[in-house]
Amino acid sequence: MKLSELAKEIGVDCAGDGPEIRGINTLTDARGDELSFFHNAKYARELETTQAAAVLVEERMVPLLPAGTIPLITDEPYVKLALASKHFARPPLRPEGADPILGAGCLLAPNVSLGRDVVIGGNVTLMSGVCIGDNVHIGDGCLLHPNVVVYPDSIIGSRCILQAGAVIGSDGFGFATTREGRHIKIHQLGNVVIGDDVEIGANTTIDRAAFGSTLIKEGCKIDNLVQIGHNSVIGEHAILVSQVGISGSTTLGRNVVMGGQSATIGHLEIGEFAIIYGRGVVTKSLEGRRHYAGFPLVEHQAWLKLQGKIARFFKGK
């Protein structure tokens, strides 16, 4: 829709008609026909270099915009983003589209559901109750156990195993809160991309990205009852044990191991080959090739020494 029409819908001013807007994206990834937003000072550098057609931004930050980018001035950029996102949300079902394409050797239970524009590789097995949304692509040799749900636009590589009840591509947990305390849904416009040779446990959920993709890279092994938030990146051959919780926009390097019930806050990075012991809570970015434990999280050897001192303290009582 025209930028002027979108601005009117969300209650901000726009001079002239403006360009045609075809989507919403981050400052870094936005193209010349997309809208972006700025609401956090730590992304000032991205604001200065964005290629977005227009940016929702507070008036004091307008001088940082590059020439040619149109400011949509508001004192609530994040709330206005939420209002704008609904205009680009995909319909839950596509009324039109191509019939599914299935490769040779596929086995489908009688009550499997396939959406429009689905492409499935060869020798894929879909068991009872599997539901595949519109425009999903699944590679060769995959096995989806009963009641797996794959939301629209998800991409799954080859030789992947999804255990019963796994949910791929459900909405990320994104809301903007108004000054009055109302929560406005940020429609999740991205998808999930899963690499080759990934295994995902029973009742694990992987959220679709708000913009762009949530990435599960090749060789990852993910246990039962794991939650992975939107826009996270799980590096090659990572291992996530049962009940791990990954907050949105977390990046794990290759071969990271997270023990049972460990968790992260969002917007941080864990270096390659790091190990987080069970129930460890990651609250800041971590160097790779080290072992960590506890809350607050410390290196594992320091945590062991602390536990020893605590035990001796109570024995002294």
Active site residues: 230
Q: Is 132 helix (H, G, I), strand (E, B) or coil?
A: strand
Residue 87 phi, psi (nearest 5): -75, -10
32: which DSSP letter? T
What tokens does 67 get? 């020439």
Q: Indicate the residue type of 84.
A: A
Strand arrangement, sheet containing 221-222: 107-108, 125-126, 143-144, 161-162, 199-200, 221-222, 239-240, 257-258, 275-276, 291-293, 298-299
Q: Say if residues 129 and 111 touch (Cβ distance below 8 Å).
A: yes
For residues 261 and 276, the answer to whether their CB atoms sit within 8 Å is no
Distance CA 220, CA 140 (A): 17
Question: If you ran DSSP here, which 8-state letter would residue 175 be given?
Answer: E
How long, in residues, is the chain?
A: 317
Find out whether the peptide bond into 296 is cis, omega within 30 degrees of 0.
Answer: yes
The CA angle 218-223-225, to the nearest 5 degrees, is 125
Tokens representing 180?
């009055």
CA–CA gap between residue 246 and residue 229 (Å, rounded)? 6
Q: Which residues pair with 168 in a beta bridge?
A: 150, 206
